[in-house]
Amino acid sequence: MTEQPPPGENTRAVHLPPSPMPHQAPLGTPVWRSATFAFETSQEYADVLGDRVPGYTYSRVDNPTSDGFAAAVAALEGVRVGGVTGQAFASGMAAITAVLMTFTHAGAHVVAPAAAYGGTYGLLSELLSRFGVRTDFVDMTDPATVRAAIRPETRIVWAETLANPTMAVADLPALAEAAHEAGALLVVDSTFATPVVCRPLEHGADLVIHSATKYIGGHSDATGGVVVGRTGVMAPVRGVRIHTGGMLAPDEAFLLRRGLETLPLRVRRQCDTAALVAAAAARHPAVARVDYPGLPGHPGRETARRLFDAGPEGTRFGAVVTITPHGGAQAGMALADGLRLAKVATSLGGTHTLAGHIASTTHRQMDARALAAAGIDPGAVRFSIGLEDADDLIHDVNNALTALGRIGVQDGALNS
């Protein structure tokens, strides 16, 4: 037999020895940064790809790091209900899109909040409507209004645990009852709440969605989304994720899973600070309105106390505060521009306090009529409270509000 010569330099470079597989469990999450996986046989390849045996073929289909992140979120959301699985997505909007594409079709109907997140509103009103999906945007804080909007063709009742940006509180058990009586699913975007504040599956929701970019990641350095629910409901969601290619990348999954380990610490602190900022802003004469369910008189306060988690500090009411100054849109922009510690930036839920004029940014998809129906004032500014000291944030917000008076706010308009 002719002796096999050593492989050439190119072959040697490509076929390097594999990395060792440790027997000891790593405390950090391994990052499986591989687009594709190899098999011992063609039959094994076919069986894994056909979901007949567990395994991995291609990271658009499944990836161990991304699956690990989704399972971790499912464990937090489903701690008291069991049988919960998750699917990870490249963004929160990818997750929202997949759920709506999974459970709607031409002629289907959705009931959604009038104060829905702008991306959700635009997807339903501008894109899915082109494919025959109809949506009624209603006041989700009134179960009777929701029941009246449900039709025989309703497939989804869509809710936000804490509405973006009005901080309206959804009565999840009542919405679940209304949806299930009609044979529809209750889908809840719980980005603003996180499992630290509320776990909608415990209150009757079928699916829970998070933009993991926000509090779950928590450091403004990763983009992702996740959907969790019971296995039977989740199975078709995975199929749509695969078909549409919205899989979360492993590096992002690593960062987002790491964020989960400090999620309770961060969110508890942010909720505490938000309550102090909201109370201080409500006392300022330049302020027309503050939306925060922890404030006395907020219409969702009692619902929040019934559904949301509490610690030694009391009920956790979330960490977003929406402040509306007197003076309309120009005053709102001037308030945001007058901040020095808080940053004018997109997104929320990170370590930095962020502020944004709502009508021109996150809810730009809404015209004046839709904004009014959602209860969003043209001057409203959304504050995502970070981890700074409360006194420093209050000082920053007060200075920016006081500056509005020096500019001159009269008769509902800002005068320079």
> Which one of 260, 283, 307 terminates a domain?
260
- 246 & 232 share domain: yes
> Which one of 260, 287, 308 terminates a domain?
260
- 322 & 349 share domain: yes
Choice among 15-19, 172-176, 323-327, 358-362 with the minimum mean pLDDT: 358-362
- Residue 412: pLDDT over 60: no
Question: 4 in a domain, yes or no?
Answer: no
Question: 24 in a domain, yes or no?
Answer: no
Mean of the pLDDT values across residues 89-105? 98
Question: 30 in a domain, yes or no?
Answer: no
Predicted confidence band at 1 (pLDDT cuts at 50, 70, 90)?
Answer: low
Percentage of residues of the chain with pLDDT beyond 70: 97
Judge if the upstream peptide bond of residue 165 is cis by omega within 30 degrees of 0. yes
Q: Give catalytic residues, as residue numbers.
A: 60, 117, 189, 214
> Which one of 233, 260, 287 terminates a domain?
260
Sign of torsion over alpha carbons 386, 391, 394, 398: negative
**274-322 pLDDT per residue, tens:** 999 999 999 999 999 999 999 999 999 999 999 999 988 899 999 999 9
- 145 & 280 share domain: no
Which domain covers residue 169, as residue numbers? 42-260
**pLDDT reported for residue 90:** 98
- 247 & 191 share domain: yes
Predicted confidence band at 190 (pLDDT cuts at 50, 70, 90)?
Answer: very high
Mean of the pLDDT values across residues 75-89? 96
**218-233 pLDDT per residue, tens:** 999 999 999 999 999 9
- 71 & 219 share domain: yes
Q: What is the pTM of this model?
A: 0.93
Mean pLDDT for the chain overall: 94
- Residue 263: pLDDT over 50: yes
- 322 & 226 share domain: no
- Residue 410: pLDDT over 50: no
Predicted confidence band at 373 (pLDDT cuts at 50, 70, 90)?
Answer: confident
Question: 25 in a domain, yes or no?
Answer: no
CA distances from 32 to 28, 56, 65, 224, 253 (A): 12, 11, 6, 17, 10
Please state, in angstroms and rounded to a whole number, the distance separating the CA atoms of residues 253 and 27.
15
- 67 & 146 share domain: yes
- 209 & 74 share domain: yes
Predicted confidence band at 409 (pLDDT cuts at 50, 70, 90)?
Answer: low
- 330 & 191 share domain: no
**pLDDT reported for residue 414:** 39
Give long-range contacts, CB 8 A cutoff, 24+ apart: 341-344.
341/388, 341/392, 341/393, 341/395, 341/396, 342/383, 342/393, 342/396, 342/397
- 271 & 245 share domain: no
- Residue 4: pLDDT over 90: no
Mean of the pLDDT values across residues 238-250? 97
Please state, in angstroms and rounded to a whole number, the distance separating the CA atoms of residues 103 and 156.
7
- Residue 323: pLDDT over 50: yes
Give long-range contacts, CB 8 A cutoff, 24+ apart: 145-149.
146/111, 146/175, 146/178, 147/178, 149/111
Tokens of 332: 């709102």
Question: 371 in a domain, yes or no?
Answer: yes
- 396 & 255 share domain: no
Q: Where are the alpha helices (DSSP H) in 128-171?
A: 143-149
Question: 317 in a domain, yes or no?
Answer: yes
**141-159 pLDDT per residue, tens:** 999 999 999 999 999 999 9
CB–CB of 193/167 below 8 Å?
A: no
What secondary structure does DSSP assign to 208-219, as a single string?
A: EEEETTTTTT-S
Question: 33 in a domain, yes or no?
Answer: no
- Distance in Å from the first CA to the final CA of the chain: 94
**pLDDT reported for residue 162:** 97
- 255 & 270 share domain: no
CA distances from 341 to 253, 373, 392, 400, 401 (A): 30, 32, 8, 10, 14
Mean of the pLDDT values across residues 109-129? 95
What total number of domains does the chain contain? 2
**pLDDT reported for residue 407:** 63
